[in-house]
Amino acid sequence: MNRMMLIAVLASPFALAMPATRAQTIEGAAYITPITDNVQPLIYGATFSKEYLERAAKGENSRASSKPLADDGRLAVKFDPDVSRAVREEYIAAIERSSGAKAARGLDDYYEANDVHALLRKAVAPYGLRVDDLGDVTTAWLVVMWMTANQAPLPAVEAVQGVREQTRAAMIEGRRVPAKAEKQRMLEALAYQTVTLIRVRESAQEGGNDDFLAQLSDSAQATMQRQDLDLRAMALTKDGLVRR
């Protein structure tokens, strides 16, 4: 299994952080945007089924002890600037629908000045994760959502590795790798959600805004629980996400 650690991004200095005052002008729920249709079968399919989680909790799954899946390029993404532009517009439009034009302009200005790929790359590159790999970006999003819902500290390296292997297995072995254009749309949608959530969490932590952190936590939990994934009932272990 590859030695990589994603979620240390939340502990490392991030020079392009969003100011705390801006981060807290939007309700926490606005930052937890609905999961995309393509991600749903990845997360709620066989890999995160009740049976899989129960086996993992008992240490019966073989994934943690087996060799990692070969990186054969099926999850790699080549970016079309037109698709990138469309995804950003859709993301900002979703914020406007949920929280109004002023909130949407704030995020739009932020991403006009700071490229989402560069922000994510700076955070994950030291830990071996790639921003042009759908499996890696999905891993980032899943673990950040889990940490948000549980208001958790940094997980162990082995735990993040486990989530990465779960995610790659669900996509590759489960034959759920999207088509080329849709793969990019899925990756970039998750990138915006992940980077924004990292930013607002970090700003709230720096500002000591416990109420805002609690609101974010409840929003992440409620969003995933509506899709039958109870993040607070799950733990991060060497097998990835498992039922407590």
Within-domain flag for 92: yes
Model confidence at 64, pLDDT cuts 50, 70, 90, reads very low
Within-domain flag for 1: no
Model confidence at 43, pLDDT cuts 50, 70, 90, reads low
Looking at residue 9, what is its pLDDT? Answer: 26
Q: How many CB atoms lie within 10 A of CB 164?
A: 27
Within-domain flag for 100: yes
14: pLDDT strictly greater than 60: no
Number of domains in the chain: 1
Most confident of 112-121, 163-172, 192-201: 112-121
Residue 47, CA distances (Å) to 1, 54, 231 in order: 17, 11, 15
Mean pLDDT of all residues in the chain? 76
Residue recorded with tokens 């952080």: 17
Q: Which domain holds residue 146?
A: 7-14+35-68+78-243
Within-domain flag for 162: yes
Model confidence at 164, pLDDT cuts 50, 70, 90, reads confident
Share of the chain above pLDDT 90, in %: 24
pTM for this prediction: 0.79
Work out the average pLDDT over 209-227.
Answer: 88
Work out the average pLDDT over 186-209.
Answer: 89
Work out the average pLDDT over 57-67.
Answer: 54
Within-domain flag for 26: no
Within-domain flag for 59: yes
Most confident of 37-51, 65-79, 96-110: 96-110
Model confidence at 175, pLDDT cuts 50, 70, 90, reads confident
Within-domain flag for 29: no
Task: State pLDDT tens for residues 75-105.
Answer: 999 999 999 999 999 989 888 887 788 888 8
Looking at residue 191, what is its pLDDT? Answer: 93
165: pLDDT strictly greater than 60: yes
240: pLDDT strictly greater than 80: yes
Within-domain flag for 27: no
Work out the average pLDDT over 212-221.
Answer: 91
